[in-house]
Structure 1
Amino acid sequence: MLTFRRSLFAALLLITFVVVLRSSHSIPSSSSPPAPAHRPEDDAHNSNQVTDERSPGQKKNAIQHQRSLNPSPSAPLRERLRYHFPYDLDNKFPAYIWQTWKYTPDSLWFGEELRPAEASWTELHPGFVHQVIPDDTQRSLIKYLYSALPEVFEAYDSMPLPVLKADFFRYLILLARGGIYSDIDTSALKPAADWLPASYDLSTIGFVIGIEADPDRPDWHDWYSRRIQFCQWTIQSKPGHPILRDIVAYITEETLRMKKAKILKVGKMDKTIVEFTGPGAWTDAIFRYFNDPDYFNIGPDSSHNVTYEDFTNQKEWRKVGDVVVLPITSFSPGVMQMGAGDYDDPMAFVKHDFEGTWKTDPSL
């Protein structure tokens, strides 16, 4: 006869059996090894959909970044800049246009003589975000973008001249956000989409620069800082590019060095503006990149360095790794020297009025 105790005992046995049965299905067999962890490298190895046209040095650099952890505050500045502003060559050029001036275009104090030039960038780039950053906003923007790198903001904030901050700002904003920077006294002659030939694969290009000066004359050093000088009034870049990382680190280190030595003052600095933040320092950073074995296939026995001779008398585009160098006509048309064409030249993209507004700064 089925009693209450027997019924309860039978129910407990049934529950125990069900629990044991379920547990046996949830535990993998000791003879079956667990599935291997997924690795990003596996996707690259198994996929044949994408062709990576970067140089081995660039691939190595990208992989090292992917595997890197957040560096400590004591790590070298370049390493921390690499972490906070990673460079991805495959990304598109951001649709930003950055300019700086004392006032925004909607201010009554914005000079009427600047309006046609400023408007040309918006008119030829209708899908872009066009920002004219006034002086009183730059400081807050840099403090926000570089909050994790306090020495960069300290360097910017410590500079004794507006022209130094203006130079530094263009590198800082492009490193963090990418896009196009162009001085307020420049006019767009052609949209950025026409700056490069249609045959170029944009996934292999991360930086576009123009030649400012190619003075093939014995006294060139009396007029320019370098035999080939790259212009800094118009630059296009994808965010995080190594050239920008290098120039930002260089300027930061030099600024803090002079500050510590108590010579970061007008008339006391041991560097000129050109060599500190201007075209001299800028040109040097570009050549350092072109000759960096971390990014280019430079063998230990190679005797060739990229020098001014590789760009003198250049008439068309020249691609060096992920950088496209434009001839002097592109960003300096109409100068009537050094082989530059006129404003109607097919290679003329940006007109620079050479106003030199920084020279009117009363603190200079």
Structure 2
Amino acid sequence: MVPPRLRRLAIFALLGAVLMVWTLFRREEWDHESLGGLESQYPLLYQHVHMQTGEGGAWYIPANWTTPTHKPPRNIVEAAEWALQATNASDHYLPFSTIPMIVHQTWKTTRIDTWPQLLRHSAERWLQAATEGPMAYFLWTDEGMAQLVHRFEPGLAMQFAGLASNVERSDVFRIVVSKWIGGVYGDIDTEPLRPPTQWISATDLLPWTDTQTGTSYPATAPVQAIVGLEADCREDTDTYWRMGYSQPVQLTQWAFAWAPGHPILQTFLDRLTTTLQTIADRYGGSLQSRAARQELLALDPLTLTGPAAFTEAVRSRLAETTGLRWQALSGLEDGGRSKVVDDVLVLPITGFSPGRGAYGNMGSKPVTDASARLRHLAQGSWRAFDWTVEYGKFCRTMLGRCRDWSKVPVPSAAIA
């Protein structure tokens, strides 16, 4: 006879096992139902991203860009190279430009069941715009981004890996992929309001004149870059830095478009590599030591790789080639019009940042305005609550102090 105590334990163990099996079954059933729901809600994302098994990310290339004898790409870098060749062979460019009809985005994984709903909605809209374009679409994971840098910028690979945070690597990747592949880049938390194939119209290319210098800027060649204002403030006030910007007129980096090989992209990379090499030289030529990483962490990502660094690269290049007075790009006096400088189309703040509220509006018009191309939903994965950052924001905005405080959380784990 089995003692009563052991019988009770056996019964409890059996009940626990049954409960575990039932729970797992229900979980699998729930997962199946949820994926089925995702397939119906986000059919393009489910088909071209979630069901993809490609190395380094996922991609969609229009069927009429390929041939039956075309060998499937082994990874996302090969797929991107092939898409660029296809655009060049058949003139698949955005109208009025030499910008390839290719869309790039990044995210941690292609498993859309792990994504926030907002990101699924945004990416589905991008894929819809791509398939209707028709345009190629690429979603790059961290693995794919590293592969691209190793393939095209091997001299940058060690510095790329040595950056203090994933957001900085994402900033650099979007420049590298624009330089070597080209096309449209949009953060995963942006949503196209108009397909990129409708981003440039004849009215965007009309000549304009800097009212202070009298310099005229006609569009004399196809557009090779599209950038948009993120900040548009008067230069004789402190409004811009109270709002957290580095310049009164600052460009956004959450969306832009480029023809491959544009020299502004190399200007950005040259400035970055010089800064990183200077730091490495102080620590035996490496960025991997604890002291080097602490110095990297002390640098504000916004000015190292983010919109401030990007704005400075564009500003310096256009000043050098055209003598552009940077503040002339402001739309505060002309109602917010597009301006072509050399081969760069600069959109007003409504272009990539429509629908801003009353505070910090800076001339931003509603998302329904004809000049709105996309909207930014501000759900970046780097955004985390940080008391220091929040106090700095309050101190700048309300007190007019703390101008140089960091505006993003410091990733403490990056020191390890």
Report the TM-score range of the alignment, normalised by the length of the smaller protein. 0.5 to 0.7
1:208 paired to 2:226: yes
Match 2:139 to one of 117, 128, 132: 132
| 1:272-293 Cα distance to aligned partner (Å, 9 max, x none) | 111100111111111111111x
> Partners in 2 of 1:266 and 1:185 — Cα distance?
30
1:103 paired to 2:103: no
Q: For 1:348, give the aligned amino acid.
A: A
> Partners in 2 of 1:245 and 1:331 — Cα distance?
23
1:350 paired to 2:374: yes
Give the aligned partner of residue 261 of structure 2. 240
Preserved contact between residue 331 and residue 337 of structure 2 (Cα < 8 Å): no
Return the offset for 1:91.
7.4
Q: For 1:176, give the aligned amino acid.
A: W
> Partners in 2 of 1:282 and 1:232 — Cα distance?
7
Distance 1:307 1:362, change over 3 A: closer
Sequence identity, in percent? 26
Give the aligned partner of residue 330 of structure 2. 311
Q: For 1:250, give the aligned amino acid.
A: R
**TM-score of the superposed pair, with normalisation by structure 2:** 0.59
1:289 paired to 2:314: no
Give the aligned partner of residue 274 of structure 1. 302
Return the offset for 1:310.
3.7
> Partners in 2 of 1:268 and 1:128 — Cα distance?
38
Return the offset for 1:257.
1.9
Return the offset for 1:144.
1.3
Return the offset for 1:237.
0.5
Aligned length: 263
Q: For 2:268, give the aligned amino acid.
A: I
Return the offset for 1:248.
1.2
Where do residues 1-364 of structure 1 align in structure 2 (5 Å cutoff)? Answer: 92-104=98-110, 106-126=111-131, 127-146=134-153, 150-198=154-202, 200=205, 203-216=221-234, 217-222=237-242, 223-262=244-283, 263-266=291-294, 269=297, 271-292=299-320, 295-296=321-322, 305-313=324-332, 315-336=336-357, 337-360=361-384, 363-364=411-412
Return the offset for 1:108.
3.2
3-state SS of paired residue (1:181): strand
Q: For 1:307, give the aligned amino acid.
A: W
> Partners in 2 of 1:256 and 1:362 — Cα distance?
22
Distance 1:195 1:256, change over 3 A: same
> Partners in 2 of 1:91 and 1:348 — Cα distance?
19
| 1:324-355 Cα distance to aligned partner (Å, 9 max, x none) | 10000010011121110011111111010111
Give the aligned partner of residue 29 of structure 1. none
Q: For 1:97, give the aligned amino acid.
A: V
Preserved contact between residue 99 and residue 182 of structure 2 (Cα < 8 Å): yes
3-state SS of paired residue (1:334): coil
What is the aligned-residue RMSD (CA, Å)? Answer: 2.3
**Structure 2: 5+ residue stretches without partners:** 1-92, 206-218, 284-290, 385-408
Q: For 2:148, give the aligned amino acid.
A: L
> Partners in 2 of 1:141 and 1:93 — Cα distance?
19
Distance 1:130 1:306, change over 3 A: same
Return the offset for 1:251.
1.1
> Partners in 2 of 1:109 and 1:210 — Cα distance?
31
Return the offset for 1:266.
4.3
3-state SS of paired residue (1:342): coil
> Partners in 2 of 1:166 and 1:180 — Cα distance?
15
Distance 1:363 1:205, change over 3 A: same
Structure number with greater CO (CA < 8 Å, separation at least 6) is 1
Preserved contact between residue 98 and residue 222 of structure 2 (Cα < 8 Å): no
Higher helix share: 2
**Structure 1: 5+ residue stretches without partners:** 1-88, 299-304
> Partners in 2 of 1:230 and 1:202 — Cα distance?
23
Preserved contact between residue 228 and residue 349 of structure 2 (Cα < 8 Å): yes
Q: For 2:115, give the aligned amino acid.
A: F
> Partners in 2 of 1:228 and 1:291 — Cα distance?
14
